[in-house]
């Protein structure tokens, strides 16, 4: 179920663009992808993006980019979702792309954190956020 919002009349530091896609299946559970662009971003937005906790650097995207793995990928118990978040800064813009999927259930295979991270990073490059250097995506933590 895609849903999007694009607004040029928002104050600086507000999300200029926000889009979310989600799907649900009996076998794979829930999968969701969001894209949030803040343009122009405030200096606080940029500082916050650059200091995301547990963020592993990504090369080839914007002026700064990193990936975070949380939930299932960090061993959180209780059926925690598997989350990969790409955060990037380019000039006075910030980009945040969380990719969330259900933890393994009903015998489904474990989520592939490396594939999720590569997909997010390549999507950012394909959307024009590449900086001309080779794309380098860190490996997901062992789950």
Residue 54 is assigned to a structural domain of this protein: yes
Provide the domain limits for residue 54.
35-129
Q: How many helices (H) and strands (E) does the chain have?
A: 2, 7
Residue 27 is assigned to a structural domain of this protein: no
CB 99 within 8 A of CB 33: yes
pTM of the predicted structure, to 2 decimals? 0.84
Instruction: Tell me the per-residue pLDDT of 104-120, one tens digit each, with 9 for 90 and over.
Output: 777 777 889 999 999 99
Residue 5 is assigned to a structural domain of this protein: no
The average confidence (pLDDT) of the chain is 85
Determine the pLDDT at residue 102.
85
Q: How many domains is the chain partitioned into structurally?
A: 1
Residue 119 is assigned to a structural domain of this protein: yes
Determine the pLDDT at residue 74.
85
- Cα separation, 99 vs 81, in Å, equals 10
- Cα separation, 20 vs 103, in Å, equals 20
Residue 79 is assigned to a structural domain of this protein: yes
86, burial (CB in 10 Å: exposed 0-12, middle 13-18, buried 19+): buried
| Overall size of the chain counted in residues | 143
Instruction: Tell me the per-residue pLDDT of 120-142, one tens digit each, with 9 for 90 and over.
Output: 999 999 999 999 999 999 999 87
Instruction: Tell me the per-residue pLDDT of 44-79, one tens digit each, with 9 for 90 and over.
Output: 999 999 998 889 999 999 999 999 998 888 888 777
């Amino acid at each position: 179920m895609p849903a999007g919002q694009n607004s040029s009349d928002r104050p600086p530091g507000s999300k200029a663009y926000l889009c979310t896609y989600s799907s649900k299946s009996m076998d794979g559970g829930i999968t969701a992808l969001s894209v949030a662009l803040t343009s122009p971003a405030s200096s606080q937005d940029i500082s916050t993006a650059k200091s995301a906790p547990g963020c592993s650097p990504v090369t080839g995207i914007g002026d700064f980019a990193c990936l975070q793995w949380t939930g299932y990928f960090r061993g959180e118990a209780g059926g925690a979702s598997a989350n990969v978040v790409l955060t990037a800064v380019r000039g006075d813009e910030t980009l945040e792309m969380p990719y969330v999927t259900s933890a393994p259930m009903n015998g489904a295979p474990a989520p592939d954190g490396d594939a999720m991270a590569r997909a997010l990073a390549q999507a950012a490059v394909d959307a024009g956020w590449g900086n001309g250097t080779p794309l380098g995506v860190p490996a997901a933590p062992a789950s």
